[in-house]
Structure 1
Amino acid sequence: MAERHRYPKSPTTYLLRAIVIVYLVLLVVWPVALVVTNTFENGGEALRSIVEDPDMMAALRLTAIAAVVATAINTVFGVSMSLLLVRNEFPGKRVVSSLLDLPLSVSPIVVGLALVLVYGGRNGWLGPTLESWGFQVIFSTPGIIMATAFVSLPLVIREVVPVLEELGIEQEQAAQSLGASGAQTFWRITLPSIKWAVIYGVVLTLARSLGEFGAVKVVSGNVLGETRTATLAVEEKYLNFDQQGAYAIAFLLASVSVLAILVVFLLRAREDRRERSLS
């Protein structure tokens, strides 16, 4: 077994470690810890009030629906687009790859406004036609899902593409040479090989979708009990001086994201242990 190289630790190394730790504490750990402590400041009364409020439960339910549907859409689209980018050459490939990063570089407010300009009921390009067919996009659940899906679009793709590039096509070609169809090759060779990349992308997409605020605020209409999401409820409660309620909703949203990341970490660790025991 090759020995791991150990580099000498200079004072600069310890200084950099200290800077990183302080930075993470100030930027991540401390704010999140304050949200948790303020949520349970009165023994969890704020959480009970959220659970007992039908409007807040409707907001949480709408957020969950939008996040799950957007994650499902982006998972299917992300895996398909990753295969297209890695396994095929076509004119404009680099342009398409660059456009996929647009949701990460454009302000969510701009995204929401763009959706209103296209699907708005009065002056939108497609909105009046869709509403004449009885289908409303803006200020309804479909608009919220579209905005959420847009802002989290590239996350699965950027996790899967590097893994596909590293895997190569040898195993897929071998399966096809043995008579496997395209679908069989994907389900039995490709998908198991990119499984963890897809899972990481799904978790990141879900976390991003749960926390979306700017684009959703523009397209939702923020109607209490109908189109108000959990993130909009956080703002509303904070501005109305109900800070305990705002902390409680924020705690619930953060808990789901942290729990998903923790579950993936534990599953990956268990599989790594199983693979080492078999090798």
Structure 2
Amino acid sequence: MVSLSLPAKWAVRIVVIAYVFLLVGWPMITLVQNSFADGLASFQAAFSDPDVTHSLLVTVEIALWAVAINTVFGVGMGLLLVRYEFPGKRALSALIDLPMSVSPVVIGLALLLVYNGRDGWFGPTLESHGIVVIFNSPAMIMATCFVALPLVVREVVPVLEEIGDDQEQAARSLGAGAIQVLRRVTLPAIKWAVVYGVVLSLARSLGEFGALKIVSGNLTGQTQTAPLVVEQKYNNFAQGEAYAVSFILVLISVLCILVVSLLRPKESAS
């Protein structure tokens, strides 16, 4: 390990802090300043608009559905990748990370091509049975699940690898079934990894823009989400309302992270 002199350590710290401040801190401070530039007038104007309140409700609904689905999938996929060996395991692990490297707009377009009711692969069949996917909640939930797909998995996998499977094998040797092992042994051991994955997934889902703009149709008062309202308000010169809605989205994400940090038990020093 390379040891640095005290001045060098301080220089590195200053550079890192300055980088984080310029990349994250400064934009957030500017957002807060603009949100409260007119006091609470911008918030009052925003929440008096039924389209804004509806968009916030739609955003929360879609995010909660996506988080619930990704939590179940993330825990299951984490167990599959860590506890089992099978052909194509590495390919599956790499495929899970695909949403992190593909533009959300491309994801939305792909869903549109597959589930479009006019000439999509499955869209006409589904619509013939009364199931409308595109420009409706199912497509919005799928798009949100896709962009937040790796977050729970990548939090759970390292913890499963660290704890090993000794306790699970001991539980099975004592006669515990698969569900009992999962509920009483595995889940308690990985609960904080799951919680962090859920928080990250929620924050990512609340702020999704590109994919939802494609598959939702951005229908005001119907499928429009809060990030889409921010764009609409900003482009329509209602910038105060755009800042107010943005502040609410950021505040929810920050509060989730703070709550988890405060509730997580401190690790005892060894």
The TM-score normalised by the length of structure 2 is: 0.97
Structure 1 position 52, deviation (Å)? 1.5
1:76 has 2:72 as partner: yes
Runs of 4+ in 1 over 6 A off after TM superposition: none
* Cα distance in 1 for residues equivalent to 2:237 and 2:215: 25
**Which of residues 32, 42, 45 is equivalent to 1:46?**
42
Aligned to 1:4: none
Percent identical: 60
In structure 2, what residue type is equivalent to 1:126?
Answer: F
Aligned to 1:259: 255
1:19 has 2:15 as partner: yes
Flag the 1:134–1:16 CA change in 2: closer, same or farther, 3 A.
same
In structure 1, what residue type is equivalent to 2:255?
Answer: L
Offset from partner CA, 1:162-220 (integer Å, 9 cap, x none) = 00001111000111111111111111110000000000000000000000000000101
Aligned to 1:272: 266
* Cα distance in 2 for residues equivalent to 1:218 and 1:110: 9
Structure 1 position 50, deviation (Å)? 1.6
Aligned to 1:205: 201
Structure 1 position 119, deviation (Å)? 0.3
1:144 has 2:134 as partner: no
Query: Matched residue pairs, number?
Result: 268
Aligned to 1:242: 238
* Cα distance in 2 for residues equivalent to 1:161 and 1:90: 16
- In structure 1, the gaps of 5 or more residues are 1-6
3-state SS of the aligned residue for 1:194?
helix
Q: Alpha carbon RMSD of aligned pairs, Å?
A: 1.3
In structure 2, what residue type is equivalent to 1:67?
Answer: A
Aligned to 1:55: 51
Aligned to 1:181: 177
Offset from partner CA, 1:58-78 (integer Å, 9 cap, x none) = 100000000000000000000
Offset from partner CA, 1:141-179 (integer Å, 9 cap, x none) = 111111001000010000000000011110001111111
Structure 1 position 8, deviation (Å)? 6.1
* Cα distance in 1 for residues equivalent to 2:178 and 2:53: 44
Structure 1 position 13, deviation (Å)? 1.5
* Cα distance in 1 for residues equivalent to 2:64 and 2:224: 17
* Cα distance in 2 for residues equivalent to 1:152 and 1:185: 27
Flag the 1:19–1:8 CA change in 2: closer, same or farther, 3 A.
closer
Matches within 5 A, 1:108-123: 108-123=104-119
**Which of residues 129, 132, 135 is equivalent to 2:128?**
132
Bigger Cα displacement from structure 2, 70-79 vs 237-246: 237-246
* Cα distance in 2 for residues equivalent to 1:158 and 1:193: 16
In structure 2, what residue type is equivalent to 1:184?
Answer: Q
- In structure 2, the gaps of 5 or more residues are none
Offset from partner CA, 1:75-118 (integer Å, 9 cap, x none) = 00000000011000001000100100001110001100000010
1:32 has 2:28 as partner: yes
Matches within 5 A, 1:85-96: 85-96=81-92
Aligned to 1:215: 211
Structure 1 position 43, deviation (Å)? 1.1
Aligned to 2:189: 193
In structure 2, what residue type is equivalent to 1:236?
Answer: Q
In structure 2, what residue type is equivalent to 1:28?
Answer: V
Aligned to 2:227: 231
Bigger Cα displacement from structure 2, 207-216 vs 173-182: 173-182
